[in-house]
Structures are given as C-alpha cells and as structure tokens.
Structure 1
Amino acid sequence: MTMLSRRNALKVAAGTVPALALGTLPARAASAPVTGVVPASLAVLDNVVKTYIAERTIDCAQLAVVKNGKLVLARGYGSYTSTATIGGQPVPSLVQPTSLFRIASLSKHITSAAILRLVQDGKLSLSAPVTTLLGLSTSGDTRLKDVTVLRLMQHLGGWDRNVSGDQLWLDHTISAVLDAPLPISHADIIEYATARPLDFAPGSKMIYSNYGYLLLGRIIEKVSGMSYEAYVKQKLLTPVGISRMMLGGSLRSEAPPSEVPYYSQYTNKTVLDGSGIVVPYPYGGFNMPNQDANGGWLASAVDLVKFAGVFDAAGPVLNSASIATMTAKPEIGISADGSWYGCGWYVRQVTGHLNTWHSGSMPGTYTYLARLQNGITYAALFNRREETGTLDYDVLSTRMNEAWSKVTTWPTTDLYSQYF
C-alpha cells in the first residue's frame, strides 16, 4: 500500500471519510484508497483502471488478473459505508479484493455451466424443449415447442426485447396484465411471456434474451430438485473453493457488509413491493431475486477469475465435452465480425486459442470478464455504469488489450492463497 493510500485508509478507519447518501453520485479523485497487490511490472494495468475510474467518478472498483493459472494481481479501489454497524453507527470500509459486487450478466456463464453439469451427469438433454421441461403451453405461439435448452443458452429462443420488451424489467406491466400483486414472481413472468407470440422463429437468429436465462434457472431447479442458488454452490462453486458468492437482494438493507453500494443517475423509481415508496433505482427500482440466473449473482473479481479457470481444462466441475459445448459455434454460424455467442460467453477464434468474454450492466453496475490468449484472464467490476450517454464504459477492454503489450515481465508468485 502506498503512503497516500495508507493515509486514506486511516481516514476511513477513523470515520473521517463522510458517508455517501444513496442515490447521489460520488466524486472520487484518482487518489482514492487502494487495497491488494499490484506487482511493479503490472503497474500499467493498475493505471488503466485508476484512469478509468477517475474519468467516471467511480468510487468502488476491483481488478483481478490471472496469468497461466496464477493470480498475479488483485486490487480493490475506493471506499464505502458498510451495512455493518458499530455502536449503531455505519462502518466505513475500504474496497477489498474480496468485496462483493453485483455482477449482472456475468451470471450467464455460471448458469450455462450449471446446465452443462446437469447434461454431463445424464440428467438433462440439450435438445429437450422448454415446453416439455417446464410444462409450458404453446397456445400463445406453437413455435415455442422449438425452443430447446441449447437455444436458450445461445440466445436463439425467439424473444427480441427491442420488439416485445425485456420481461425481466416489465414488473408493473406484468402485474397489471395478470392482476398479480407486486413484487411479481418468476412464475408471473413466465405466464406473461408464454401467452404472447415469439418475435422470431427459434433458431433463426441470435437476439440477446435475459428471459431465456430466467427459464434456464427454472430448468435447473426442476431437474435438480434444488434451488438454483443451492445447485450452483454445491456443484460449481464449492468444488473449486469459492464460498463468498451468493445471490443478491434488492434493498441496501439486505446487503452483506462486504457488498459495495451502487449509484445511478436515475433515482425516482417506485420500489417493486407495491408500497409506492420512491427509491434510488439500484435499491428496489428493479427486482434482484427475479434476476437470479440471468444477472443476480454477487461476486468479487478474484472469485470470477478463479471460476473462469473451470473452462481452461477438464476438472471437478466440467469435463472436456462440456467445455467444448460452452464455446461451440451456434447453428446460425458466426457474425460478420467473426465472433459468436456460445453458452454464456461471446467467443472469437484467434491463432491457437478461443477468446471468450462478457460484460454485465444494470443500474449501478458495470462488469467485464475475459479469457484471452497468452494465458491471460481478468475481471473488472464497478459500482456505476454509463447512463448519461457521455462516457463509453466499453472502452475498458480496448485499453486493457493495449496495456498487455506493455507488460514485459510477468510475476511468478500466485496470490490465490491470500484470498481462498
């Protein structure tokens, strides 16, 4: 830790860093406190994130980098007011490499891995229709019978959120149509969507669908006989030593002490419990429990890069056939830019390697995870996203890609033992 960051840490510990009101946008300078380990040879990567968060006044962030299976960088940036209290007072905290963030759509490769584990164990077929698995009616559209498990994972199911809306974000509409009380449930969302026609023929094109992953979560529960969260923890996370990850709650009061707060410019949202209370958008303006299989997980960056190692080689979670399915080209082929969507990952062939990546975004959250050539895997998590149209958050991957070429020496020390 630098002398500057040590002084900042002491200020936080002493409570002299003021608590931030939920719903306000915090201003943070590049001198925000930092935690964790950044070897000198990787300072260029650390500086990319420091510049990025300073430009966007992001006050909580993380970066974790793996090289050839070893954790070589683990960093937390910023501070926050914890949900924990001492003597009735909130506890100021530094963002640690193990602090928890909402990871949004980085949940999708986790859900896909859970599905493939069921297939691997002989409990599920990728060609099984969702109508059969979940007992869904085809009265809304007979083409629903053509929606298979694999098509759900590859976003080929037939739903286009630009046409019929994103079912995960239509709570008030669904409540009104079904005359169902808020908060609505997974079952309500499925009933609403099933009664409506698909937007295109299943398998004919790829259109990103959060709803498709909601259905995958219900399939996991139906086939396994366990809750979605319990199955993932037992079959995917525990075998590789990950214990921090959990599904998140909607309200700040539901957050564990190690979870950072989230900020959005959109504050005037009605809490989705039917009370009519106006809340900051990240805290009740949308339903986190309904997001579970699509975007509901909490994790740290070190958790995400460790779990990403599951896809590097056959192991206790997935065998080689399952890993191959994760990155296989879909029936529609590849896109014009040479990439395709596998199962919870975007994929691109480079010389001798398949690069896989994904981003995540919801009010108050932007995340990015990539597995690249040369044995590099990294995850970066932030507690804000672009909502004003003035700053491009997606430039992170371009800047990181440029930074790799400037690293001349990679550390050989493995930091995993410090965090697991």
Structure 2
Amino acid sequence: MLTRRDSLRLLAGAAAGVAALPALSTRPAAAANRVWTVTGQSSSSLKPFDDTLKSYMQARNIPYGSLAVLRQGKLVLARGYNWTTDTFQAQPTSLFRLASLSKPVTATAIMKLVQDGRLSLSATVAPMLGLSTALDSRLGNVTVLNLLQHLGGWAVRTQDAPNYLPDPMFSDFDIRDTLGVPLPVTQANIMQYVSTTRRLDFDPGSTFWYSNYGYLLLGKVIEKVTGLPYATYVQQSVLSPMKITRMVQGRTAQSLRRSSEVPYYSQYGGTTVLDGSGAWVPAPYGAFNLENMAAHGAWLSTAVDMAKFTTIFDAPGLLTQPSLDAMFAPPSNYNHTDPSWYGMGWSVRPVNGSRSTWHSGSIAGTTTLMVRRWDELSWVVLFDQRDDPSGLGYDAEIDNLMHQAADSVPSGSWPSTNLFPSYGL
C-alpha cells in the first residue's frame, strides 16, 4: 500500500546516492553562533508557518529555507528563513536546487507536447532514442506513459530492497569503468550503459518503481521531438507562459553557484565525479553530477516561482482539462485498495470528492516539498540541507508539520491579498 508517508520516503530515497559516504565535509556555523532572521511577506494570522519553520530548521541546524503558501490560487505567504552567521540572506526570490520537484516540471512539458499533437503517450521510447534492445527485447515496449508513471521496469537498490543494482544516475564510476570513458560521464553514456548492461527488472507497465533514469529519458524525448535543448523547451513552453523567469538549470560545481542561489550543506563528502582527479569534495558539490539530472533533479527555483507553477493544475489554462485529468489519473495497474497512486509527475490521493497531489525532493544538500491540498491550500518549502548529526528526519517530518501549521490557521483569518504581483508573477 502506497501511503502518503511511504511515498515521501520513496521519492526522497531514490536520490540518496551519497547518503552513506563516510566523511564530514561542508560544515555550517555552530548553532550557538547563529542568528535567526526572516525575510519576505506574510500576515500575523499565518504565524504558525513561521513558527514551524523556525523550530524545524533550528532543531536540525539548517542554514537556509524558503516557503510559499497559496490559498485559492493566491500567494499569501512568501518567506526566506535564515539560521546562520553568513552574510548571504535567503529571500523569497533566492534560488534553491529543486531535486525531484523537477519531475512535475518535466511531466508538464511532456503533456504539453501531447496536447499539441506532437507526441503520443503510447509512443515507444527505445526506437525514438536509438536505444539498443539486444540485451532485453522488453525495452522496446517501454512507452512515454510508462516513464511518466515510473512503470518502465527498472528497479534500483534501496534500504528495503538491497538486492537490486544502484541507481544509474549515481553510478558514474561504474559507467566509466564499464564503458571505458572519461569522467564526467554524459547522459549518452548513461543511456548506453543501462540499455546494454541492465535487463529490465519487471515487464513495462507492470510494477511501480521510482526511476530517476526514466525521467532522464523523458528529457531526451523532449529534445528529440522539439529539436531544442530540454531546458529551452521547458522555459519557452511551460515557464514563460506562467511569467516564471527565474527558474534555471543548476550546476554541480561550487564555483558555478549563482549569485542568488543558496549554498548547500551536508555532513558527507565523496570522490568527485566531475573529473578524474580523485579529489574529495563536499557531497553537494561533486559527489553526483547535477547536469546529467536535468529532467529529474537539476532545476533551480524560488519557492514563489514553484508556487506559481502549481497554479497550472488548479484550472484549465496552459493545460486543458483533459490533460489535467490525464496527469492525475491512476495508472492501469492501480490497486483500488491503495489510498494513493503516482500519476504523471505527481502523487495523488482522492480526498473528500477532490484530491491532494504532492511531490518531494531529496539529494545531498537539498530537501524540498510541494503540496496541493484538496481544500485549495498549497505550499512549496525548500531547504539547503537534508542531513545533519542530530539524526532527525527531514522530508516526511516537514510534510506532517506543514499540514499541522495549515490546520491551525482559523478559517476566517486567512489573508485575501495576493502577493504574486510583488514578485512579477
């Protein structure tokens, strides 16, 4: 049974490729030296959200966070939170790595192509992308819809399923050694490696297993169909129509951090995958290759921009009602005794004749969560850390706390103002 909490763990765990690395790397300032500051706009009735972020971040010594809250499509809270001694201050317009919140963005771009008649959900991916099916003929049956719903047939090793192979998106050294190519490995290298060395673990369409690699393939499908770089098509066809201009693809190296981008922290480090130097680096800055994760984990965004993105799904506009319905529909293998399912880029749960949809993201240096509740409340919360010596949890815990904060705001005290115009949205 795919419960809400299980979904959050699964979505986060899929990107956990550096979680067990043994050495301490980037250290934020000691808690005793930190100062708590808040930027942005809110109202006194929404203080439970500010209180929640303060207690959550201080318990885990998280330096930077950001939160955007919507009610009935209006932005009612836009905050940056700082628990740090650094001169950099997180604003509502500060950029954070989204990690797997990138997947709903990619799914929306795919559905836009389908809606425009340029792509079919039943299109098979291997012939489109020139993937070899010699090792496993079932690869030739994997469709665009299978990839969107994580039904492509690939499994990856998790704590609860240790007998599967590791996520290929975090297998740079094995890919290098198997193919005899230099670091950094490319997306083309990853595709060759998977299609020629790994048989599918399940028949396509039969079994849900969260797959970063499947979304890499969706990014390549977008490029194949449009003739444009993945990010260019997304920015032109999905983001710009929503007036979202700050979202960009992130870069791995610390030296390439953007001026409005938060720094990332982890207690772990690893050998760089960006070159063959063997250098030990902080986990967020080279223990994985963010550029290769373009379609499943590489977007940078502000909380307010992602909040605007969520409004695509509130009513027909960029996407038609049939497109919206298709994105949230249960997959063909859905077990109707389960309370929720993974649609196209969103987890979905029917509630009170409506539905709640959500996605989380987690990678070294990043924890993110995007929720659209059945009662027309939505929020996006972003952090620059996902692990610390306290051992406290991150993704599922902030999910529960955000619901508690929302439920503690009296129904008649929600502000009616809309802050989106303040941020050019």
Provide TM-score, normalisation by structure 1. Answer: 0.90
Matched positions, count: 390
| Aligned position for 1:38 | 42
| Aligned position for 1:10 | none
- Superposed, which structure 2 residues align to 1:307-386 within 5 Å? 307-315=309-317, 317-334=318-335, 337-386=338-387
One-letter identity of the residue aligned with 2:121: L
Match of 1:24 among 6, 20, 27: 27
One-letter identity of the residue aligned with 1:23: T
Indicate conservation of the 8 Å contact 2:29/2:85, yes or no: no
Match of 2:65 among 46, 61, 67: 61
Structure-2 separation of matches of 1:324 and 1:81: 47
- Cα 1:389–1:146 shift into 2, 3 Å: farther
One-letter identity of the residue aligned with 1:191: Q
Match of 1:204 among 203, 206, 219: 206
- Superposed, which structure 2 residues align to 1:121-132 within 5 Å? 121-132=116-127
Structure-2 separation of matches of 1:251 and 1:334: 43
Give deviations 1:236-290, integer Å, cap 9, x for gaps.
0000100000000011111110000101111243342222222111111110110
> For 2:79, what is the secondary structure of its paired residue?
strand
Say whether 1:138 aligns with 2:133.
Answer: yes
| Aligned position for 1:221 | 223
Structure-1 separation of matches of 2:388 and 2:101: 19
How far is 1:38 from its partner?
Answer: 2.0
Give deviations 1:310-331, integer Å, cap 9, x for gaps.
011111x211111111111001
How far is 1:79 from its partner?
Answer: 6.6
More deviation, 364-373/329-338: 329-338
| Aligned position for 2:177 | 176
Structure-1 separation of matches of 2:371 and 2:335: 19
How far is 1:419 from its partner?
Answer: 1.0
How far is 1:93 from its partner?
Answer: 2.2
- Cα 1:336–1:32 shift into 2, 3 Å: farther
Structure-1 separation of matches of 2:89 and 2:134: 53
Indicate conservation of the 8 Å contact 2:62/2:83, yes or no: no
| Aligned position for 1:104 | 99
Indicate conservation of the 8 Å contact 1:345/1:357, yes or no: yes
Indicate conservation of the 8 Å contact 1:64/1:378, yes or no: yes
Indicate conservation of the 8 Å contact 1:28/1:59, yes or no: no
- Cα 1:395–1:265 shift into 2, 3 Å: same
> For 1:367, what is the secondary structure of its paired residue?
strand
Provide TM-score, normalisation by structure 2. Answer: 0.89
How far is 1:386 from its partner?
Answer: 3.1
Indicate conservation of the 8 Å contact 1:80/1:261, yes or no: no
Indicate conservation of the 8 Å contact 1:28/1:58, yes or no: no
| Aligned position for 1:113 | 108
Say whether 1:281 aligns with 2:276.
Answer: no
Indicate conservation of the 8 Å contact 1:26/1:58, yes or no: no
Structure-2 separation of matches of 1:166 and 1:154: 17
Structure-2 separation of matches of 1:388 and 1:165: 25
- Cα 1:327–1:387 shift into 2, 3 Å: farther
Give structure 1 stretches of 5+ with no counterpart.
Answer: 1-20, 83-91
How far is 1:27 from its partner?
Answer: 3.5
| Aligned position for 1:17 | none
Structure-2 separation of matches of 1:27 and 1:274: 33
- Cα 1:346–1:389 shift into 2, 3 Å: farther
- Cα 1:389–1:168 shift into 2, 3 Å: farther
> For 1:374, what is the secondary structure of its paired residue?
coil
| Aligned position for 2:421 | 417
One-letter identity of the residue aligned with 2:214: G
- Cα 1:388–1:31 shift into 2, 3 Å: closer
Match of 1:252 among 254, 257, 274: 254
One-letter identity of the residue aligned with 1:244: R
Say whether 1:263 aligns with 2:258.
Answer: no
- Cα 1:119–1:80 shift into 2, 3 Å: farther
Structure-1 separation of matches of 2:408 and 2:342: 30
How far is 1:81 from its partner?
Answer: 9.2
| Aligned position for 1:397 | 399
> For 1:34, what is the secondary structure of its paired residue?
strand
- Cα 1:113–1:32 shift into 2, 3 Å: same
Overall identity of the aligned pairs, in %: 48
| Aligned position for 2:21 | none
Give deviations 1:334-390, integer Å, cap 9, x for gaps.
475410000111100001211000110000100000000221110000011036682
Say whether 1:161 aligns with 2:156.
Answer: yes
Indicate conservation of the 8 Å contact 1:27/1:58, yes or no: no
Alignment RMSD: 1.7
Structure-1 separation of matches of 2:284 and 2:253: 8
Structure-2 separation of matches of 1:145 and 1:26: 51
> For 1:298, what is the secondary structure of its paired residue?
strand
Structure-1 separation of matches of 2:325 and 2:244: 23
How far is 1:31 from its partner?
Answer: 4.8
Structure-1 separation of matches of 2:84 and 2:189: 36
Structure-2 separation of matches of 1:348 and 1:136: 35
Indicate conservation of the 8 Å contact 2:218/2:295, yes or no: yes
> For 1:32, what is the secondary structure of its paired residue?
strand
How far is 1:28 from its partner?
Answer: 4.2
Indicate conservation of the 8 Å contact 1:32/1:59, yes or no: no
One-letter identity of the residue aligned with 1:27: A
Structure-1 separation of matches of 2:246 and 2:313: 20
